[in-house]
A and B are shown apart, each in its own frame.
Chain A
């Protein structure tokens, strides 16, 4: 009971804020008589969402599917390359600086390059973008986990006369696992954003991003924003799933939040 009331207390402020914000928006549009091609009312977005529920859901599945493929492939590649980079010196020296540099630029712009390489109706460029987004986040986190073990734990392993192989298997690898799940939590919503935004740059018109850019540009802002809401729900679903996964897999992380 206590837990429930504490949950409610953390949830209440953002809910109250959200309701107030939407009411103020609605009120402002009515009061100033703002034209719908400038700004629509939240109630219009809501009814547009209900009218297009099936289409939004289909688009969520397309974009979500691309994001999920990117998350899975990117995570696997990120782990693999991080292991190689920590094990083989020249690979590490090659990949680490590139990863840092790439992490600092908005890679979604590369989509323009990939769309030229594939058929116009191919989902592959979007999946590549989502994969890249997940890859770098996971790579950076897992690499950090492999490098940064607690000094006390490493001194203990030395005092136990552990070989460097034992140290890797018993300390560095499990330590990297906990960083991996943190990486997945950060990467999951990022793959959704990337998959959606990638659709702005052409290709199939079946996903959330394509519909958002399409409806917003033809002045059907209520429908466009309903798709934006769909994208938000999708991002939250990905984040929620990854957060639960982390909570269950590495419970000791609950007290220490490493990014």
Chain B
């Protein structure tokens, strides 16, 4: 792993993604997408429903393949990066395996990678420390709150030491207080592990608070319309949420999103202004 300043974690080049080619329900999910994410960077993808933000994330994860164009993850094809478990993933639903204890959930990617039992259990306990749930190793998922489940999902995503974390609205189902707390925790964890993050969200404040850059996307056809550098200090705390610069950036992102909408003469659907 390299952390040289100009090393690229993700490179997306001239990517188009079309679903249902040659059929009447054809969808141009992504058109001519260019994106570079530097190692260690935190980048958010934001936009209304149908703008292709989740599709873009899935192309990086090799859960989908581009129709045209190339995606590179840590200098490899996404497929190779997936097979090497170079990235971890977390979704809106924690997606914990109900029949496995919390520790066994975190161990699953390591188990699949062939780690021996003692080593992966030690790693699970280490990850539980990191997400501040050290005494829940033997709990079952259904005994945890939604926020705790999401922490376990993040712990699992980071267990195999990935260089890259891909997150699809991971805090979308949480209440506002838990959500702000989880955002702060995520930044702390990422700082501690030096992980690059690509983060899909509906929430403007969430994107601004977390990111180095916010990628604004627009639907019909899905595309990137602007990329806004946030330029806030990396060490963010609760004070950040009240800083003038934070509000200025929220306004800037909101206006970028509005601009899209004006062009598309569409409602600003599915964007949270909170």
Judge whether B258 is part of the interface by a CB distance below 8 angstroms. Answer: no
CB pair A162 B112 closer than 8 Å: yes
Bound Cα distance from A147 to B93, whole angstroms? 19
Residue of A nearest to B153 (CB): A156
CB pair B93 A160 closer than 8 Å: no
Tell me the smallest distance from the CB of B154 to a CB of chain A, in Å.
13
Residue of A nearest to B100 (CB): A174
Residues of B within 8 A of A251 (CB): 140, 142
* In the complex, per-residue mask of B9-32: 1 if CB is within 8 Å of any chain A CB, else 0: 000000000000000000000000
* In the complex, per-residue mask of A146-183: 1 if CB is within 8 Å of any chain B CB, else 0: 00001011011011111000100011001001100000
| Interface hits, B22-56 → A, CB 8 Å | none
Residues of A within 8 A of B88 (CB): 159
Judge whether B83 is part of the interface by a CB distance below 8 angstroms. Answer: yes
| Interface hits, A34-71 → B, CB 8 Å | none
CB pair A161 B82 closer than 8 Å: yes
Judge whether B229 is part of the interface by a CB distance below 8 angstroms. Answer: no
Interface centre among A159, A174, A177, A251 (most CB of B within 10 A): A159
Count A-side interface residues using an 8 Å CB cutoff.
21
CB pair B93 A159 closer than 8 Å: no
CB pair B108 A150 closer than 8 Å: no
CB pair A158 B82 closer than 8 Å: yes
CB pair B112 A161 closer than 8 Å: yes
Residues of B within 8 A of A162 (CB): 112
Judge whether B95 is part of the interface by a CB distance below 8 angstroms. Answer: yes
Judge whether B109 is part of the interface by a CB distance below 8 angstroms. Answer: yes
Q: Contacting A159 at CB < 8 Å: which of B89, B99, B141?
A: B89
Tell me the smallest distance from the CB of B169 to a CB of chain A, in Å.
12
Residue of A nearest to B84 (CB): A161
CB pair A156 B95 closer than 8 Å: yes
Residues of A within 8 A of B83 (CB): 161
Bound Cα distance from A252 to B141, whole angstroms? 8
Top 5 closest A-B pairs, CB basis?
Answer: A152-B95, A252-B98, A252-B142, A159-B89, A174-B99
Residues of A within 8 A of B (CB): 150, 152-153, 155-156, 158-162, 166, 170-171, 174, 177-178, 250-252, 254-255
* 21 A-B pairs with C-beta separation under 8 A: A150-B93, A150-B95, A152-B93, A153-B95, A155-B89, A155-B91, A156-B95, A159-B88, A159-B166, A160-B108, A160-B112, A161-B84, A161-B112, A166-B112, A170-B112, A171-B97, A250-B99, A251-B140, A252-B99, A252-B141, A254-B142
